[in-house]
Structure 1
Amino acid sequence: MRSKLFVPGSRPELFPKALDGPADALSFDLEDAVAEDRKAEARTQVGALLRSAAAQASGKTLIVRVNAIDTPHFEADVAAVACEGLHLLNLPKAESIEQVMAAVAALETAERANGVTRPARLLLNVESPRGLRQAAAMAQAHARVAGLQLGFGDLFEPLGIARRDIANVHAAMFAMRLAAGEAGVFAYDSAFADVKDAEGYLAEAEMARRLGYLGKSCIHPSQVALAHRVFRPSEADIARALCVTEAAREAQARGVGAYLVDGRMVDAPFVRSAEAIVADAKRLGLLPER
């Protein structure tokens, strides 16, 4: 999931183009992108799309960002979109274990009512100081939690924290990445609002990749190619990973636990990282299956 493109739930004319586009994942938004008087209409449209043959055949990860759990729209949103086509339910403004468990309960109820046999998982948005402080606990609250996602707008703007200060961005990214690591879930980067600033998007994406993030959100189709440029192993990454995995096989045969590859000490954590790079390269068609 290198790229995740937001699609307003109230814009059904955009749905076919998004399904046919290059983004790895689509996040149909019922929250900020939808006006209050169109919430019911949007949830109906997104629910119908998720159940369509086109959505099922797209091969994309399909996500819905519902309205926050303390709004009057939350339960109706979940009831409308809980179906076989939903992969991740994106919970905005998550701040506590209690909210996560309430979201799980609502999802389970909706799935039973809708006859769902393949349960969806949760992507929790970290968008407040409390949410960031509670991130690891929330991510460990239930097996349904698949990942954490940063939301810089809600996290920074109310506090007057400058988004363009790279130190601020890095601090929040680092804190959430450690929380995700503690919980054993993925970390996903925030959207970048200035669509015309490709260099700014790339700079944040590069930082996220160096911190071990899975990918970056996109608010415009033009940002998808930028995310794909960043979140892929380079030729040098692949070459080194292949050297490490081959050396690991030889070391295992000799009963050696730590060894040198190109003058650098390698042990189990480095091997796992190299194996992940090789698997990613194969998935993206950068390396033939062997």
Structure 2
Amino acid sequence: MKPRRSVLYLPGANERALEKAATLAADALVLDLEDAVAPEAKEAARRRVCETVAAAPYGRREVAVRVNGIGTRWHEADVRAVAEAGPDAVVVPKVGSAEDVRSVVEALAEAGAPEHTAVWAMIETPAAVLRAEEIANASEALTVLVMGTNDLAKELRAEPGPGRAPLLTSLSLCLLAARAAGKSILDGVYNDVRDVAGFEAECVQARRFGFDGKSLIHPSQLEPCNRVFAPSEAEVEHARRVVAAFTDAEARGLGVVTVDGRMVENLHVEQARRVLALAEAMRAEGGH
């Protein structure tokens, strides 16, 4: 299990930001060649990002590169260069179909990308939401869906606001698609970096929905995001008691187990084991 509580976008054209990221407590980093890079800086940013990936300065953090979208004049060159650099993943913006996913997977293979380089698909349009199931099942190389909530809200002509009511249907459909396909899914960004309370509330909402983590635009968002998406000490301790009680009951041939006054079934044990696995993965990655 890879913790993906906090996934921070870094502008590929900003050398200082790329260097500073080595000190940040993000579970994963996305070195961005798309929205964060002006057209005249695309090629220089591509070189810098690929050199950074090849140098591997980020330790055990998961490192992805967001390429420019399919059909743009930079996309094919981005994919070829990134394939050679071999990051953990390639983030593809504005994926609209299963065929989009397969085309990127094929292009990466043709360019000699290592087997460990996965594809993350961004869901940013109404059409993509309605095709989320086929997108999620398009390839085994696709491991993560990423919600692009800003573009999605624009396409819907929605004004999300606190609670994000206009986006909840889309978020739920994509979450269902990801879980049915056995893939991870990340919530979209929160734009107001000064609104700490609003950001934390959105993290809590996303965790309750079942998202694995959230994509971020500023280092100040890392601490609350990591905290909200991590199992608390109380949750970890409860999970240990559930697993221990169930294991003991099985050994004694008992059919009914209670922990803290509540009946425990197989589904609760599976949930508890997932909590313990996530806590262990966080410790392995350095805790933060």
TM-score by shorter chain over 0.5: yes
- 1:262: Cα distance to partner? 2.7
Asked whether the 8 Å contact 1:248–1:271 carries over to 2, the reply is yes
Residues 65 and 82 of structure 2 are in contact (CA less than 8 Å); yes or no, is this contact kept in structure 1? yes
Q: CA deviation at 1:85?
A: 4.5
Q: Is the 1:10–1:45 Cα contact (8 Å) retained in structure 2? A: yes
SS in 2 for 1:223: helix
- Paired residues of 1:170 and 1:207 also in contact (CA < 8 A): no
Select the residue among 160, 164, 170 that pairs with 1:163: 160
1:230 and 2:233 are equivalent in the alignment: no
Identify unmatched segments of 5+ residues in structure 2. none
1:102-161 C-alpha deviation (Å, 9 max, x unpaired):
010011112x2xxx5443111111111111111121111110011111111110123221
| Greater relative contact order structure (CA < 8 Å, 6+ sep) | 2
Work out the percentage of aligned pairs sharing the same amino acid: 38
The equivalent residue for 1:150 is 147
- Give SS of 2:44's match: helix
SS in 2 for 1:51: helix
1:177 and 1:256 map into 2 onto residues whose CA distance is 36
Structure 1 contact 257–267 (Cα < 8 Å) conserved: no
In the alignment, does 2:215 pair up with 1:217? yes
Which letter maps to 1:145?
Answer: L
RMSD over aligned CA atoms reads: 1.8
Count residues with an aligned counterpart. 280
**Residue among 109, 122, 126 paired with 1:125:** 122
* 2-structure distance, mates of 1:62, 1:191: 18
- 1:10 aligned to 2:7? no
Which runs of structure 1 show a deviation greater than 6 angstroms over 4 or more consecutive aligned residues?
A: none
* CA contact 1:97–1:141 (8 Å) conserved in 2: yes
- Asked whether the equivalents of residues 212 and 229 of structure 2 are also in contact (C-alpha less than 8 Å), the reply is yes
Aligned equivalent of 2:242: 244
* Unpaired runs of at least 5, structure 1: none
Secondary structure of residue in 2 paired with 1:76: helix
Give 1:132's aligned amino acid: V
Equivalent position amino acid for 1:92 in 2: P
Give the whole-Å Cα distance in 1 for the aligned partners of 2:255 and 2:167.
Answer: 37
| Mapped partners of 2:129, 2:114: distance in 1 | 33
In the TM superposition, what is the alpha-carbon distance from 1:38 to its structure 2 partner? Answer: 1.4
Q: Distance in 2 between matches of 1:18 and 1:146?
A: 23
Instruction: Name the aligned partner's letter for residue 144 of structure 1.
Output: A
Partner amino acid for 2:124? E
Q: Please list the CA deviations of residues 169-213 of structure 1 after superposition, one character each: whole Å capped at 9, or x if unmatched.
A: 433322221111111001111111111011111111111111221
Task: Call closer, same or farther: CA 1:256–1:146 in 2, change over 3 Å.
Answer: farther
Range moving further from structure 2, 76-85 or 277-286: 277-286
Alpha-carbon spacing, 1:203–1:16, altered in 2? closer, same or farther (3 Å): same
Does structure 2 retain, via aligned residues, the 8 Å contact 1:121–1:145? yes
Question: What residue number does 1:95 align with?
Answer: 96
Cα distance in 2, alignment partners of residues 68 and 148 from structure 1:
15
Question: Partners of 1:273 and 1:212 in 2: how far apart?
Answer: 12
CA deviation after TM superposition for structure 1 residue 19, in Å: 1.6
Asked if 2 retains the 8 angstrom alpha-carbon contact of 1:62 and 1:85, the reply is no
TM-aligned CA distance change 1:69 to 1:255, over 3 Å? farther
Where does residue 251 of structure 2 map in the other structure? 253
The letter of the residue matching 1:226 is P
Aligned counterpart in structure 2 of residue 191 of structure 1, from 185, 189, 199: 189
| Residue 47 of structure 2 corresponds to residue 44 of structure 1 | yes
1:273 is aligned to 2:271: yes
* 1:206 lines up with 2:204 in the alignment: yes
**Displacement, 1:165?**
4.5
Deviation at 1:255, TM superposition (A): 4.2
Are the counterparts in 2 of residues 67 and 92 from structure 1 also a CA contact under 8 Å? yes
Residue number in structure 2 paired with 1:141: 138
Question: 1:263 & 1:170 partners in 2: Cα distance?
Answer: 34
TM-score, structure 2 normalization: 0.91
The 3 A distance-change label for structure 1 pair 271 and 83 is farther
Q: What secondary structure is seen at the aligned counterpart in 1 of 2:57?
A: helix
Letter in 2 for 1:156: A
Contact (CA 8 Å) 2:126, 2:156: kept in 1 or not?
Answer: no
Rounded Cα–Cα distance in structure 2 between residues aligned with 1:53 and 1:224: 21
- State the Cα distance separating 1:243 from its structure 2 match: 1.5
**TM-aligned CA distance change 1:257 to 1:11, over 3 Å:** farther
Q: 1:256: Cα distance to partner?
A: 4.9
Q: 1:54 aligns with which of 46, 54, 57?
A: 57
